[in-house]
Amino acid sequence: MIQPNRNLPPLTTAEPLGALERAAWVLAIVAVWMAMHLYAGLVRDAVPYTLQSLGHLQPQLWGQDLYLRFGAPDRYSLFTPLYGLLINATGLEHAAQLLTVAGQAAFFTCAWLLARALLTPRQALAGVLLLVALPGHYGAADIVRIAEDFVTPRLLAESLALAAIISWTQRSRYGALSFTLLAVAFDPLTGITALAFLLWLELAQPRPQLSLSLLLAGVALAMLVLVGSLAHGLPLRFDLAWYQWIPAHMSQLQIRHWSAADWGATLAPVGVLCAGIALLEPPARQLAQAALGIGLAGIALTAIGADQLHLLLITQGQPWRCLWLSSTLATLLAPLIAARLWRHSALGRASALLLLAQYLLMSERYAPLIAVLACGVLTLALMAAPHIPRQYQRVALLGALLVCMLALAVATANYFVVAQYHYFPDQPFAAPGWLKSLRVADRTGLTGFVLLGLLATLTAGTWRRATVPALLVLGALGSVALASPTWTLWTRLSYRAADKALFAGWRAIIPRGSEELLADDPLFVWLILERPNYLSRAQQQSALYFRPAALILTQRELALRPYLRAQGLAFWEDEPTAEPGIPTLAMACAMPDLRFVVSRVPLPATPIAESPPGISANFRGLRLYQCPARADAS
């Protein structure tokens, strides 16, 4: 068993941090935030949450959309009513911007306060810098990230969860419980992670036997509830018709579909937490244990409940999402853990280098192999370093250094290839090319680690009196250079009232309540045309929670698959070698209940309306078509 190292200095040992040095670190963090957390707009999960909030304001207008027709996933959340109130007061996009910037400010502030409760000032600044700079994705397919750049309830819930942990470190159980309950109220999936974390700290660690008894009692109670539910006819598992939607459309919900890159992103913080358990003192060691415990428990619960048993509540609850807290704490504690490993032994330094290589290569197919190598060397360092001759340890250190250099070379080469060809498919917003290139380097953490190394080197030596003022000036210049693009992206509006007014003619043609098909931009249909959308990725969430929605979406997608493939928008591609073909109106009108189609690509038919003059660039080239059968009927 790995035992904590008692021969290292306590956490309170700290070198003095001057005002200028502190300012240089803060300016660097601000500049990195401005570069790496550009506002993404109403994209990804922001789209369904926006529709849910609009549904609270005007249920008669949006309630018939397929996403809300059978109920809303937010029925147990306070977030969408709050979002709706802000929409009413400030307008839709301003409300989204305010909630996003407020959520990020709250998250990084809580992260700083937590880091200060555990680390020295310099280590806390280094941890926050890494948290701001690293991509922060966890789980599968880069679906979710820590501190996302668009409006979701996860931002506020993550902040409240960190506030609960801060309260626990200050021995305020009532404060920890209050913040945890608030986190659950804003986002149950994120809040339950905080609740499990506190239960682990309060029960599993100090009272393992009692915890095991309570766990067994909970399993027995769950079995009774399952039997009772079956007796009342309540569904507990996905049936075949409903379940087929999950692996085809939401593969991230099941562990069996995770790729090597997904496991690379998952295992990187696991190695850091394992080292922290052995090297840190309370309360940091307790937090590392709890973070590792709930992370592994979430993966195991998903593998059993979702992959094997296909249970509704487990699959919908997505226990793997507790990895956000494991990744957050691993990042905050990483500077201290790295320093402890470096002073531990030559094998400790080797494991620190391999952990760094693991982060840099986490998106590669061989990332799990690097993780296994890093964990193996870490185990040797913590359990057998005093018994291994120094010359062998130096050989291991040299090998780890070569692996780390190779990782840096791979990350740098990937950056230069993408930057040279200006290929930025995941950055659709209007930003300078140099800024997009800088953000590409951050996908593997290259920017964050290089910047942290420079700051740590230049602010912690005999020469820091000369370098700190220079770093201060560079940080100020960087912040000024980033101010304009940052402000532009954080204040831009994509769905303006003027554009909505210009489409009044379209709304006069389309009857209220009629569903329109524009699969790539449901917000245009919702916000500009004020009509339900027929089919889009944003509506897929409803299929996870409501069986009728899954059946309807499956039927629509099967019928419209040739049209979607021809438009380059296929959601469920079971024929990867199929030719995309040319989109036609007949393809789009394959479903008899579809009356109107909006397309950016000209279809071989006469449109009944086109984008009006003076419209924004986002909506130019749109054409409105009416399905022939419905036109004849009318």
To the nearest 10°, the Cα dihedral for 447, 453, 459, 462? -150
- Prior bond of 283 cis (ω within 30°): yes
- Over 60: is that where the pLDDT of 629 sits? yes
* 193-204 pLDDT per residue, tens: 999 999 888 887
| pLDDT classification of 295: cutoffs 50, 70, 90 | very high
More confident: 322 or 446: 322
Quick one: what percent of the chain has pLDDT higher than 70? 88
| pLDDT classification of 3: cutoffs 50, 70, 90 | very low
- Over 70: is that where the pLDDT of 531 sits? yes
Query: What is the mean predicted confidence (pLDDT) over 253-282?
Result: 90
Query: What is the mean predicted confidence (pLDDT) over 63-68?
Result: 87
> How far, in Å, CA of 382 to CA of 364, rounded?
27
User: What residue spans define the domains of the chain?
Assistant: 19-344+422-490, 497-633
Q: Report the SS3 class of residue 259.
A: coil
Q: What is the pLDDT of residue 331?
A: 95
| Tokens of residue 546, six digits | 């409501």
| pLDDT classification of 242: cutoffs 50, 70, 90 | confident
> How far, in Å, CA of 114 to CA of 117, rounded?
5
User: Would you say 415 and 440 are in contact if contact means Cβ atoms under 8 Å apart?
Assistant: yes
- Over 70: is that where the pLDDT of 480 sits? yes
Can you point out the beta strands (E) in 86-236?
137-138, 144-145
Q: What is the pLDDT of residue 44?
A: 86
- Over 70: is that where the pLDDT of 633 sits? no
| Tokens of residue 556, six digits | 């629509």
User: Would you say 531 and 513 are in contact if contact means Cβ atoms under 8 Å apart?
Assistant: yes
How many residues are present in the chain? Answer: 634
Tokens 């040095």 correspond to what residue? 21
Q: What is the pLDDT of residue 631?
A: 46
- Over 70: is that where the pLDDT of 215 sits? no
To the nearest 10°, the Cα dihedral for 562, 567, 570, 575? 50
Q: Report the SS3 class of residue 444.
A: helix
- Over 50: is that where the pLDDT of 553 sits? yes
Identify which of 436, 524, 493, 480 has the alpha carbon closest to the alpha carbon of residue 97: 493
User: Average pLDDT, whole number, for the chain?
Assistant: 85
* 373-404 pLDDT per residue, tens: 999 999 999 998 888 898 989 999 999 999 99
Q: What is the pLDDT of residue 431?
A: 74
| pLDDT classification of 160: cutoffs 50, 70, 90 | very high
Quick one: what percent of the chain has pLDDT higher than 90? 45
Query: What is the mean predicted confidence (pLDDT) over 68-85?
Result: 85
- Over 60: is that where the pLDDT of 230 sits? no
User: Would you say 331 and 269 are in contact if contact means Cβ atoms under 8 Å apart?
Assistant: yes
Q: Which amino acid is at 220?
A: A
Stretch among 127-136, 253-262, 452-461 having the lowest mean pLDDT: 452-461
Q: What is the pLDDT of residue 2?
A: 42
Q: What is the pLDDT of residue 350?
A: 94
- Over 50: is that where the pLDDT of 12 sits? no
Identify which of 79, 34, 337, 39 has the alpha carbon closest to the alpha carbon of residue 187: 79
Query: What is the mean predicted confidence (pLDDT) over 429-437?
Result: 74
> How far, in Å, CA of 336 to CA of 119, rounded?
7
| Tokens of residue 615, six digits | 């419209």
The model's pTM is 0.91
